[in-house]
């Protein structure tokens, strides 16, 4: 896979995994009792990339800037409920209800699933969706988060298996595929 050789470094994957591990530890240590500072730190760690040093920007604007502030503007009780239902219970059927919160959409919800189980879930963004649609020459559609995400995740896991990708590589490969197509 030529894209992999050009776009993915072992150091980059190592930094991503460490940052994800820290984000997971923050969630696990604060079950049902996250405050906005801890949620912000979770987003910062998940968004880390390696470009000669750790910097934010793994997911574009998803977890930083104005969108992060919109997410954090939601009532703390609603954000804790989101983490409980999506991260702890993996309850995909509640995702559409949470997408009514400020700034919360398919991408943020899928980030929580990914952190819960990186071997099972993948991060669902417009770019990663487009990458899979290019790779498999198909359309990912659905009326609910569950319908869209299950299609997406099945294809992402198929790509992982076919290309022997680590969880931290999937979004890199899919973004690169979109850029080169």
HSE-CB of 23 using CA atoms within 13 angstroms:
27
Domain count along the chain: 1
Q: Determine how β-strand 54-56 pairs with β-strand 48-50.
A: antiparallel
Alpha-carbon distances, residue 55 vs 8, 144, 156 (angstroms) = 16, 33, 26
The predicted structure's pLDDT at residue 73: 97
* CA atoms of 132 and 136, how far apart (whole Å): 6
Pick 14 or 146 by higher pLDDT: 146
The predicted structure's pLDDT at residue 11: 82
Write out the two tokens for 154.
């099945």
Domain coverage including residue 70 = 2-180
Beta bridge partners of 49: 55
Query: What is the per-residue pLDDT across 78-121, written as a single tens digit (0 to 9) for each?
Result: 999 999 999 999 999 999 999 999 999 999 999 999 999 999 99
Is 1's pLDDT higher than 70? no
Write out the two tokens for 46.
């998940």
Q: Could you tell me the pTM of the whole model? A: 0.91
DSSP 13-71: HHHHHHHHHHHHHHHHHTTT---HHHHHHHHHHHTEEESSSEEE-TTTTTTSHHHHHHH
DSSP 149-176: HHHHHHHHHHHHHHHT--GGGHHHHHHH
Q: What is the DSSP letter of 9?
A: -
Query: What is the per-residue pLDDT across 25-77, written as a single tens digit (0 to 9) for each?
Result: 999 999 999 999 999 999 988 887 655 555 455 555 556 577 889 999 999 99
């Amino acid at each position: 896979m030529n894209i992999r050789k050009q776009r993915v470094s072992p150091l980059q994957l190592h930094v991503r995994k460490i940052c994800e591990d820290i984000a997971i530890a923050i969630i696990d240590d604060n079950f049902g009792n996250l405050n906005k500072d801890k949620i912000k730190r979770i987003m910062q760690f998940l968004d880390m990339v390696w470009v000669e040093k750790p910097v934010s920007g793994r997911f574009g604007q998803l977890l930083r800037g104005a969108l992060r502030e919109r997410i954090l503007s939601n009532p703390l009780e609603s954000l804790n409920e989101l983490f409980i239902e999506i991260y702890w219970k993996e309850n995909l059927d509640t995702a559409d209800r949470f997408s009514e919160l400020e700034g919360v959409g398919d991408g943020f919800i899928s980030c929580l699933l990914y952190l819960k189980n990186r071997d099972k879930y993948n991060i669902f963004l417009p770019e990663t969706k487009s990458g899979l649609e290019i790779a498999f020459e198909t359309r990912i559609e659905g009326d609910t988060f569950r319908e869209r995400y299950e299609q997406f995740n099945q294809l992402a896991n198929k790509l992982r298996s076919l290309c022997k990708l680590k969880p931290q590589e999937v979004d890199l490969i899919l973004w690169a595929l979109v850029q080169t197509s």
